[in-house]
Amino acid sequence: MNEFLEIRGISKSYGMVQALKDVSFSVSRGEVHALLGENGAGKSTLIKIISGEEVPNAGSIVINGEEVRDFNPARATASGIAMVHQELAIFENMSVGDNIFPNANFLKGGGFINQRKADREAKSLIDLFGMNISPRQKMDSLTMGQQQIVEILRCVSAGREIILLDEPTSGLNQEEVNKLMGIIRRLKGQGITVVYISHRIGEIMEISDRVTVLRDGAYVGTYVNDASLSEMELIGRMVGRELSGTLYSARTEDGIATEEVVFEARDFSKKNSVSGVSFALHRGEVLGFFGLEGSGANTVSRMIYGLEAADAGELYIKGKRIKKPGPDVLVPAGVMYLNNNRKNAGLLLRSPALDNLAMPLLKRLSDGLFINRGKMVSHAEKYIGEFNIVIPSVYQQPRNLSGGNQQKLMFSICMGNMPEIIIMNEPTRGIDVGAKGEIHRFILELIRKGLSVIVFSSEMPELISLCDRVMVMAKNRIAGEVRKGDMSQEKIMARASGFAAGEV
């Protein structure tokens, strides 16, 4: 085959995180080449390197057999490479035609803009790609899927030969996904090369000629998408063998969950995002939720705490109906929510750790009780010790701490409220392996103390090591439930990709 783009020995680190380790593979002219891997596998980093946005620590990029030195966005463009980001680079107030040919205004010598000619060219491109829109339409009248396609057409009009798409279907509905698949086929028909990132195996099987799998920043292999390639095989390559026990404090003991239902969600629904989600959490249980992007899992995590409105759904805490879920009623009922976004939720980054830790204490003792500074300090020090937070003093501001220590601080604040039930959303996202292990140990200690935990996570090894059960979501619904003893990344990923229980 005609190797168009070659990646040789690319490595990239962000601080302590090695996002890519010695990755090499090549893309042929005119193919649709998919990049497949779990969250955090390094797909986006790799594609940013190919578009010149990120500079690798090692390795080289070879285009048409020649190494391009000091690769950067301008050189990528000159080599015919275009990237379509998830955050589209469109001009919302302008017309479709002006977005497809943004440079048309500059090209017209003499300052005379031949609008009709520009629109005619835009229209022929729109027709070529089977779109049903007019060049004069304003961009903001289009759906997100249509806007995305217009951005792709701009790359075509600019004569780009390789188009990089990073999870282009994550925000689209099924109809828009189908439309985009059609556009990608037409790009291929025009001889344009497409590098397509996704973690959705179904789409990849449908659209790609070859698939390159990344796992934990490393190259796993490149596979031709012919009749002999199976989805299960790809799932296996993508998740690999179970991670070694040193990374995750694997849960060895049997479950200690009781029969008592402490938290129950019935029939939660929201138009286009969640459909009929029901589940029950037992005392002493760690219940996990997993879903690929767009599965609805993230919406569920927010709806059950009243952080996002639901169209329907009933919530029961220890058998008692909570009419209007929200932190104002759930915190007093013993339910806490631990957010995944340390920067925007929960932590006062510019107030001393002391004030942060004292927040729940102040709330509890505010009924006329006098709290002195000494009490606050000893309360804070107790948690700093218990959670092993590395901090020079209680007066330090959280913004100066590492992500892991910030997260442990969030944990401490949460525990200060003495909850019985904790809902955690990505409790260890973006923190180092050591702090991750510590947080896992805290979670397992909590259930030994009789608390109950719901964990929403995109990391399957985390769920497997922590949970008694994992609810797997796909297409807005709970697609299956996997139980301790019968859990594997393959099983979870298969359900998340829409396979029924009997098929795996």
Ligand X SMILES: Nc1ncnc2c1ncn2[C@@H]1O[C@H](COP(=O)(O)OP(=O)(O)O)[C@@H](O)[C@H]1O
CA dist 406 and 240 (Å) reads 31
Interface residues with Mg ion (CB under 5 A) are 44
Cβ atoms of residues 422 and 334 within 8 Å: no
CA dist 182 and 77 (Å) reads 25
Q: How far is the CB of 191 from ligand X (least distance, A)?
A: 27
Q: How far is the CB of 368 from ligand X (least distance, A)?
A: 47
What does the DSSP 8-state code read for residue 53?
A: S
CA dist 109 and 102 (Å) reads 15
CA dist 315 and 286 (Å) reads 18
Convert 156-213 into a string of H (helix), E (strand) and C (coil): HHCCCCEEEEECCCCCCCHHHHHHHHHHHHHHHHCCCEEEEEECCHHHHHHHCCEEEE
40 or 291: whose CB is closer to ligand X? 40
CA dist 196 and 433 (Å) reads 30
Cβ atoms of residues 331 and 421 within 8 Å: no
CA dist 492 and 494 (Å) reads 5
Cβ atoms of residues 187 and 163 within 8 Å: yes
Q: From Mg ion, ligand X, none, which one binds at residue 457 (CB under 5 to 8 Å depending on kind)?
A: none
What does the DSSP 8-state code read for residue 140?
A: G
Interface residues with ligand X (CB under 6 A) are 14, 17, 19, 37, 39-45, 430
27 or 156: whose CB is closer to Mg ion? 27
Q: How far is the CB of 13 from ligand X (least distance, A)?
A: 9
Strand partners, 223: 211
Q: How far is the CB of 53 from Mg ion (least distance, A)?
A: 13
CA dist 229 and 236 (Å) reads 12
Cβ atoms of residues 467 and 288 within 8 Å: yes
210 or 270: whose CB is closer to ligand X? 210
208 or 249: whose CB is closer to Mg ion? 208
40 or 404: whose CB is closer to ligand X? 40
37 or 145: whose CB is closer to ligand X? 37
Tokens 């109809």 — which residue?
175
Q: From Mg ion, ligand X, none, which one binds at residue 37 (CB under 5 to 8 Å depending on kind)?
A: ligand X
Tokens 């690319």 — which residue?
10
Q: How far is the CB of 42 from ligand X (least distance, A)?
A: 4
Q: How far is the CB of 41 from Mg ion (least distance, A)?
A: 8
Q: How far is the CB of 6 from ligand X (least distance, A)?
A: 20
Q: From ligand X, Mg ion, none, which one binds at residue 102 (CB under 5 to 8 Å depending on kind)?
A: none
Q: How far is the CB of 144 from ligand X (least distance, A)?
A: 20
Backbone angles phi, psi at 29, to 5 degrees: -65, 130
39 or 115: whose CB is closer to ligand X? 39
14 or 91: whose CB is closer to ligand X? 14
